[in-house]
Structure 1
Amino acid sequence: MKKRYQIEQQRAVQQFRRLATEQNPNVQMILPMADIVGLLQEGVGNLLRHAGLELMHLVMDEEVKSLAGERHQQHEHRRAHRWGKEDGYCVVDGQRVPIQRTRLRSGDNREQRLGSYELFQRSGPLQAGVWDKMMRGLSTRNYGAVVKDFQSAYGIEKSAVSENFIEASREKVKQLMERPLGELRLCAVLIDGTPFKDRQMVAALGIGCDGRKTVLGIREGATENTAVVSSLLSELVERGLDFSMPRMYILDGGKALHAAVRRHAGEAAFIQRCQVHKKRNVVDHLPEEHKAAVKRKLQNAYQMADYADAKRSLESLHRELMDLNPSAARSLEEGMEETLTVHKLRVPDQLRRTLSCTNVIESAFSIVETVCRNVKRWRSGDQIERWVGSGLLVAERQFRKVIGHRQIPLLLSSMANAVSKKPIAKGAAVA
């Protein structure tokens, strides 16, 4: 529920906009040439900033005239009267700049707000500017020294910048977590849990049928467990994502991810275990002298185009590992079939390399790490979620279509054929 002052602000802005559209008064600004030359000594930017402030004063004066009439003159349609002046501020280029405004009183002796002043004072541009600059690597400590364009500007101290960033990043993440997904046509969803500052951040990223990537959502948890992942997927359902559509789900191999995806998507899910994670897990069991050879054999197997050849090669390696290191053999055997889903669907080579691992989402998290490099102290609350969400939005700006995107129609056709050939579950209704 909006507070009274918020309602009054909104009414004042609406009234000002009606004045602009219905009466459309002219606002003229006259600057002596000598003043222009003097201002230009410090550059065109200085002239434009000075002219902008002058223009704001003129616009507010015009609104005052429309409400209270000309000074010292009768005005039969007067809706307010002047009540002195007051120091205030406007937001220009992400900075608070002092400005003096006329105060008005209405007929019932209440404060009459100026819609133009409310617009000049809105914090949205300030917060957006702070968010954008901090995402580019500017720290709160250096913010004021870098962006200060007005000698009298304030509100760009470290504490004020931090407050504005908190509000801006909170709003950005809210928009990320609430944007509708019903219109997205996704051929694949990547889900990965990444350790981040002693917490586990689970992120979902979608690949559209046109090859474009979209951040779908994030969840913070102490561990990558089924409850955390299910909560994330349930939220995606509420926002319109259809889990009944045949789709690839590329996972890092965690059992929690696998269980949650199966619960939501059922037989429509074509689960691809990340081959990079699998290679890493197998090799980590081995002594140093055997790592390179086994890694090369795994790489050769996964590079094969034919499913039968790739599986035969992995099974051969499994037998070797049983003699060399049974733990490594068991690691390879676990989920082996799901590491070959892209082979089973006969995905063409370029697209197969893209969809065989979670590198796409890990690349996005590398940008998050870069964005967060200036944060020296991590506190509790929503700080991690705000920074990770903001970083993923920065990454999303830089996304390009995935490699092999022109081959996506072949993937869609393969999944549709595979779904049509799946046996009807026992007890299911038959038309």
Structure 2
Amino acid sequence: NPMAKVRSCSINSNRLRWLLEQPLDIKLAMLQQHLEICRLLVNEILEDEVNQLTGPRYSHQKPHKGRYYRWGYNPGSIQIGDEKVRLWVPRVYDKETHSHVPLKSYKRLKALKAAGSRLLKRVLLGLSIRDYRSVVQELVDSFGLSPSSVSRRFIEESAARLAEFMNRDLSAYEFVALFIDGKYLAKEQIIIALGVTITGDKIPLAFIQSHSENTLSIKELLTSLIERGFNYQNGLLCVIDGSKAIRKAICQVFGKFALIQRCRWHKRENVLSYLNEEDQQTYRRKLNQAYQADTYQEAKQMLLNIKRELMNLNVSAANSLEEGLEETLTLHRLGINHLFSKSFATTNCLESLNSHLNKYLGRVKYWKNSPQRHRWIACALLDIEQRMRKVDNYKKLYLMQQAIQKELNLHT
């Protein structure tokens, strides 16, 4: 093992003591910059090897009888997952051979598929701590980390990220829409709130673990958003799947400042679930055509016609369509369906988020407790947030805000 010859190049908890002693805001800022942490560790590794060859900078005590000299820096890089981390690599000159000495640690780092900051991401990509020993063997070999210290490190970092996620200030954002939905993640019901800003950014705002979608727990979630600076008084479009508990909580917390857009996909699937396969094909087409209509009047008339047909075919399907029908047409009523139906007529934004979460959490074999579940979900949401795309037609979201304010008779 070439790294074994470089005694000081292994990373241990002592080398990160200075970081652990910093104030929480500095730790959180560092944790948000995984690659910067990795760059810090790599620079330390390279500097340690140079010190062994040349002695500490400005020291008169030179090892190897003064054979090696510092000789500036060269630009270089290493690969961390899919990211390239650029570095300034120290150069060492051998006065006996009149040549530069390649740093063994840099060569080893160049060959690594993963390094320090990838630790958290590797866990998040669905690997249970129980299966972690084989995954981190290369880190154990390269950096002298033990699986137990890896687990502790992950707990510390993920706990900090949970605090960051649950407490970050929302007052700097101007939100125009809010998606709320509950899904089974990590073997528990998790209700997630996703905000959309006036600039089209999707931001996971909060989540709660709840046995079921009940009004009280969702009210607490929404109230916590307001306490963190969530501004809803310029009007808010709330996209939900049809849950009565979620709807009631929105009305109680946001009152006259919120409009409800029921998810059309859920509505359509609920109606079709009462029909046989042949009728499902027919009415899926008819419902899609109705929701694609240009105007509110046209769309509503088409849905009422479908309801009359269903009354003769299947009363349960007709009743399902009638329930909440008006709220599936909110975008039509606002006159903005043609602009925003792709992003705001369904809860697909949250479905996509949940799909990504499942990739992170689905392979965990054993959930020890609720804090573990919360840490992992928070880490995953913060990581996913960085890659979420803006909503369609985001440059025209000001038109949505104006339409909502006009509908709600808000004067801002």
Q: Which amino acid aligns with 1:366?
A: S
Measure how far apart 1:409 and its partner are: 1.7
| Alignment-derived partner of residue 313 in structure 1 | 302
Q: Do the aligned residues in 2 keep the contact of 1:127 with 1:168 (CA within 8 Å)? A: no
Q: Do the aligned residues in 1 keep the contact of 2:126 with 2:364 (CA within 8 Å)? A: no
Q: Do the aligned residues in 1 keep the contact of 2:271 with 2:321 (CA within 8 Å)? A: yes
| Alignment-derived partner of residue 105 in structure 1 | none
Match of 2:145 among 132, 138, 155: 155
Q: Do the aligned residues in 2 keep the contact of 1:199 with 1:223 (CA within 8 Å)? A: no
| Alignment-derived partner of residue 10 in structure 2 | none
- Does 2:133 correspond to 1:145? no
Q: Which amino acid aligns with 1:52?
A: E
1:230-257 deviation per Cα after TM superposition (whole angstroms, max 9, x unaligned): 1110110110112322110001110011
Q: 2: distance between equivalents of 1:129 and 1:268?
A: 43
1:49-75 deviation per Cα after TM superposition (whole angstroms, max 9, x unaligned): 7643246789x9899x9xxxx9xxxxx
| Alignment-derived partner of residue 312 in structure 2 | 323
Q: Which amino acid aligns with 1:172?
A: R
1:63-106 deviation per Cα after TM superposition (whole angstroms, max 9, x unaligned): 9x9xxxx9xxxxxxxxxxxxxxxxxxxxxx9xxxxxxxxxxxxx
- Does 2:192 correspond to 1:203? yes
Q: 1: distance between equivalents of 2:116 and 2:315?
A: 57
Q: 1:263-282 alignment to 2 at 5 Å?
A: 263-282=252-271
- Does 2:224 correspond to 1:235? yes
Q: 2: distance between equivalents of 1:48 and 1:155?
A: 17
| Alignment-derived partner of residue 69 in structure 2 | none
Q: Which has the higher contact order (CA 8 A, sep 6+)?
A: 2
Q: What TM-score comes out, normalization by structure 1 length?
A: 0.68
Instruction: Return closer, same or farther for 1:312/1:166 CA change in 2, 3 Å cut-off.
Output: same
Q: 2: distance between equivalents of 1:13 and 1:378?
A: 30
- Does 2:291 correspond to 1:296? no
Measure how far apart 1:165 and its partner are: 1.8
Q: Do the aligned residues in 2 keep the contact of 1:143 with 1:156 (CA within 8 Å)? A: no
Q: 1: distance between equivalents of 2:122 and 2:308?
A: 55
Instruction: Return closer, same or farther for 1:50/1:332 CA change in 2, 3 Å cut-off.
Output: closer
Structure whose alpha-carbon radius of gyration is higher: 1
SS of 1:285's equivalent in the other structure is: coil
Q: Which amino acid aligns with 1:256?
A: A
Match of 1:52 among 47, 50, 60: 47
Match of 2:373 among 343, 365, 384: 384
Equivalent pairs, count? 323
State the identity as a percent.
Answer: 33
Q: What TM-score comes out, normalization by structure 2 length?
A: 0.71
Q: 2: distance between equivalents of 1:48 and 1:236?
A: 40
| Alignment-derived partner of residue 419 in structure 1 | 408
Q: 2: distance between equivalents of 1:127 and 1:300?
A: 53
Q: 1:21-420 alignment to 2 at 5 Å?
A: 51-54=46-49, 129-136=118-125, 140-148=132-140, 150=142, 153-157=143-147, 159-420=148-409
Q: Do the aligned residues in 1 keep the contact of 2:262 with 2:328 (CA within 8 Å)? A: yes
Q: 2: distance between equivalents of 1:51 and 1:130?
A: 20
SS of 1:374's equivalent in the other structure is: coil
Structure 2 gap segments, 5+ residues each: 1-16, 23-41, 62-79, 81-114
Q: Which amino acid aligns with 1:142?
A: S
Instruction: Return closer, same or farther for 1:367/1:56 CA change in 2, 3 Å cut-off.
Output: farther
SS of 2:238's equivalent in the other structure is: strand
Instruction: Return closer, same or farther for 1:271/1:160 CA change in 2, 3 Å cut-off.
Output: same
Q: Do the aligned residues in 2 keep the contact of 1:193 with 1:224 (CA within 8 Å)? A: yes
Measure how far apart 1:179 and its partner are: 0.2
Measure how far apart 1:132 and its partner are: 2.6
Which shows bigger deviation, 177-186 or 140-149? Answer: 140-149
Measure how far apart 1:315 and its partner are: 0.7
Structure 1 gap segments, 5+ residues each: 1-8, 15-46, 71-92, 94-125, 423-431
Measure how far apart 1:373 and its partner are: 3.5
Instruction: Return closer, same or farther for 1:147/1:315 CA change in 2, 3 Å cut-off.
Output: same
Q: 1: distance between equivalents of 2:390 and 2:285?
A: 29
SS of 1:398's equivalent in the other structure is: coil
Q: 1: distance between equivalents of 2:116 and 2:167?
A: 20
Q: Which amino acid aligns with 1:162?
A: S
